Structure 1
């Protein structure tokens, strides 16, 4: 029995005792019963509040805070190509958190295409933190009511925690002579890129192709014509960047692969021989991080989840991103010798803002019946 239930029983017993003694036969008895009745009403109102019958304007209480627990678990849901970076960063965060808070943190991790992960979280995958390929996916989770508006203002750089650009990976010796975007539209060139319906990386690839025309003076008609010719050379659309890489590298399909620069650099770091070029007209691939408010409040681990997100912006974590091929969001780290030596300068760098933002981009290019669907329909003719 809860404390308030015990108190209520005591008050009821007092009321019965007074009723027995005074029987409503005197003014004193009447006043006494009146006071007890008032006291019971107040107690019931208080108890009613405790049992959750609050007015609709009051927020429900969150579950116990993680600070009261010796161990806490965080579920990280991220897009496929961040796996190596997070596996390097997470142990550093766990060690630092243990030192600062005397609390053991464990992580559940999930990696897949950004679009796939977004749908999974909206459909019930209880992510505490999402690190996705594009802000448009995070905004979809926000619109589903799981992330509160203003998430991008809670951390530096409008929520962007890692960056990259598009790279063209070729066969050894580059037998097709691939040097820049226009080469992808040539006859006899087979291109591997993921499906922009399911992969955030693939959306960036599409936008890089489109923007390569716009940034060099072409109009939308020329951009549509060029991108259509490029996709005529795409024999298969894997579901995400990791699968696209496997299709090209392990299955031997295609002459050229569009992928994140960080994937190429990671492969080189792992001893693989990779021929590639970073086009000098490119797009800034910006990857956001966010706490999923509904889930952290349910799990009682907001403090730890927010601590992890903030840790990803520290020079220590950003250096790990650089080491594993991501361009850093931290400007100090971006100016370091390691970063400037590692990443070639891009002459013309487009942004999502140049194309109107993700809502406009999704509606125009990737919604049902959008530019991508029309290009695919032409391809099947």
Structure 2
């Protein structure tokens, strides 16, 4: 009897060890606010491919919010296996907290940014205020909608794009660029926490004359609500917005999900993944897929953070650090 009990206990330990060795069947993607529909489409394409490749079922859970708020949530304990955010500085904060690799930009192609976009405009049908460029957004008769740059990476890109436009327009005069951005902020009636809330304010609550958000979002809104309600306006110049991704080492090592997490992010770079990204209004780096969708994307001059501001580290120090220029412009709103 004792021998049977011992054998049974040993068998249970073996089964327990095998269960612990089995990879999880779910992963969590913490992403920026307006990427909900995009990653629903990505997941729909990836999950059957993963099943065909491995024979295993997989569930991908999504968490969405302002990019900077999502980074803070992961730092505070959100067990995301991967992050797909919209600002390099947000993932840098995770690296500083030892949650992602210090050299995370070397772990995937294109500095770990599988697709890109830029701040663009969405106006009322017929463009009644004749909004065409960034300087139209500081007119006294124009009200602008975009989210809170303290919580939203989307809004931080709007801030930087406006600043970059003004630097170009005013001969690199930082004082005039600062005054330009302050006037833009004065034209914002309400700062929502994230990009999707700002979209709701503009489209459903009919606040403002123009919504500033990523081009991918403007295209998605126009498709959903129709050109009889809204109209996309692509400014002649804007700021390149890359969408960085990373594996959260602390989580995947604890859960045994690293292989799944890497496969998921690798898929974003595959031909199928790039095509899903392009179909959802994002610009991609794969030459063949980019050529396939070329006619859908207007030409635009895209300025780069590194060229306008020096580096992302300098942007963080000069604009986004506590007490820096963004705090001075944003004030106590």
Check whether TM > 0.5.
Answer: yes
Greater alpha carbon shift after TM alignment, 359-368 vs 247-256: 359-368
Counterpart residue number, 1:294 = 250
Whether the aligned pair in 2 keeps the contact of 1:185 and 1:230 (CA below 8 Å) is yes
CA drift of 1:70 comes to 7.0
CA drift of 1:349 comes to 1.3
Distance 2:107 2:113 in 1: 11
Counterpart residue number, 2:136 = 183
Counterpart residue number, 1:305 = 261
How many residues end up aligned between the 2 structures?
315
Structure 1 segments unaligned to the other structure (5+ residues): 1-5, 7-63
Counterpart residue number, 2:188 = 234
Give the TM-score, by structure 2 length: 0.90
Counterpart residue number, 1:128 = 81
CA drift of 1:88 comes to 0.9
Higher relative contact order (CA 8 A, sep 6+): 2
Match of 1:366 among 295, 304, 320: 320
Distance 1:114 1:366 in 2: 14
CA drift of 1:332 comes to 2.9
Counterpart residue number, 1:279 = 235
Counterpart residue number, 1:220 = 174
Query: Is 2:206 the partner of 1:256?
Result: no
- Secondary structure at the residue paired with 2:58? strand
CA drift of 1:167 comes to 1.1
Please, what is the CA RMSD of the aligned residues?
2.1
Counterpart residue number, 2:94 = 141
CA deviations 1:353-380 (Å, max 9, x no partner) are: 1222222212211222221221233x87
- Secondary structure at the residue paired with 1:85? helix
Whether the aligned pair in 2 keeps the contact of 1:160 and 1:329 (CA below 8 Å) is no
CA drift of 1:304 comes to 0.7
Counterpart residue number, 2:110 = 157
Counterpart residue number, 1:13 = none
Whether the aligned pair in 1 keeps the contact of 2:143 and 2:188 (CA below 8 Å) is yes
Counterpart residue number, 2:40 = 87
Give the TM-score, by structure 1 length: 0.79
Greater alpha carbon shift after TM alignment, 128-137 vs 264-273: 264-273
Counterpart residue number, 1:246 = 200
Whether the aligned pair in 1 keeps the contact of 2:154 and 2:195 (CA below 8 Å) is yes
Greater alpha carbon shift after TM alignment, 327-336 vs 88-97: 327-336
Counterpart residue number, 1:69 = 22
Query: Is 2:307 the partner of 1:351?
Result: no
User: In 2 relative to 1, CA 331–67 (structure 1 residues): closer, same or farther, beyond 3 Å?
Assistant: farther
Whose radius of gyration is greater, 1 or 2? Answer: 1
CA drift of 1:231 comes to 1.1
Whether the aligned pair in 2 keeps the contact of 1:115 and 1:137 (CA below 8 Å) is yes
